[in-house]
Amino acid sequence: MYKGQTSVRGGIEDFLCPFTDMFITQGSHMYPTHMGIMANDVRGAEPGVRYPYYAPCTCRCIRVYPESGQSMWQSVNNVRCANGYIGKVTFMIAHSNSQDCYVGQVVKQGWQLENMGDKGNATGVHCHIQTEQGDDTAWYKNSYGIYQFNNEVDLDDMYFVDNTNIINGSGGNWKKTSDVPAGEVVDQIIHKGSHVEIPGRFEVIDVNIKDDTALVRIDGKDYWIACNPLLEVK
């Protein structure tokens, strides 16, 4: 995206790629610092340059970690993601040397959010970005000792790349807003342990592929619900 860019369809903001030029230097689950997490390290067109990047949606600052130029943000309203999800999103960015955000600050879509940098445990100037679909702000170390969200989603399922020059997309299936019509309904893939929003959150206890039903738990009570045709996946 470029400075000042916005995208709103049907009254819902599209979650935009915050970078004008995107060169991914380390993708999801990659050694050494992305093991078990769905994060990307992104630099700009030229290495070593502290390029600005912009708010992918209108968002509010939730937490700040000055020692690593790191901050957690959450959408003020529901947004639309590249995989069709509509709801709140939460994301973490890191390594800005010029960080000046504060908890409670609201930044409108398209306004400058931060600059790429190398503050904290960083190799080279870049922005570390890590996202989840939902409003869960839990932030904890996984089995590899790396911090993560509970409901992380890969970046190519999160943001639209309208007006982003993809120099190295790390093999992602990147989409533009034209690829996901505003009125399209995208089904969610569920499995045992899934948390699905329709619009509330509930736990999937069991799935019956034969009759396309799912056993769900809502407020401590179990219900069988009918689903669209279910596909068994790993």
Domain co-membership, 103 together with 68: yes
Instruction: Tell me: do 162 and 193 sit in the same domain.
Output: no
How many alpha carbons lie under 13 Å from residue 184 in its C-beta half-sphere?
A: 15
Q: How many domains is the chain partitioned into structurally? A: 2
In terms of Cβ atoms closer than 10 Å to its own Cβ (0-12, 13-18, 19+), residue 114 is buried
**In the chain, which residues have pLDDT < 50?**
185
Phi/psi at 157 (5° precision)? -95, -5
On whether both 160 and 200 belong to a single domain, the answer is no
Give 122-126's long-range contacts (Cβ < 8 A, gap of 24+). Answer: 122/68, 122/94, 122/95, 124/25, 124/43, 124/47, 124/48, 125/43, 125/47, 125/48, 125/49, 125/50, 125/95, 126/25, 126/41, 126/42, 126/43, 126/95
CATH code of the domain covering residue 21:
2.70.70.10
d(CA 217, CA 78): 24
Instruction: Establish if 109 belongs to a structural domain.
Output: yes
Question: CB 160: neighbour CB atoms within 10 A?
Answer: 23
In a domain, 63, yes or no: yes
Domain assignment present for residue 169? The answer is: yes
Q: Within this chain, do residues 96 and 125 fall inside the same structural domain, yes or no?
A: yes
pTM: 0.77
Residues 92 and 166 in one domain: yes
Residue 191: the pLDDT is 63
* Residue 47 domain-assigned (yes or no): yes
My answer on whether 124 and 211 are in the same domain is no
Asked if residue 122 and residue 46 are part of one domain, the reply reads yes
Domain limits for position 86: 8-179
Are the C-beta atoms of 148 and 137 separated by less than 8 Å? no
210 Cβ contact partners less than 8 Å away, ≥ 6 residues apart: none
**Alpha carbons within 13 A on the beta-carbon side of 178:** 2
- C-alpha span between 71 and 22 (Å, rounded): 20
Q: What is the pLDDT of residue 185?
A: 47
> For the segment 27-80, what is each residue's pLDDT rounded down to a tens digit?
999 989 999 999 999 999 999 999 999 999 999 999 999 999 999 999 999 999
In a domain, 73, yes or no: yes
Whether 149 maps to a domain, the answer reads: yes
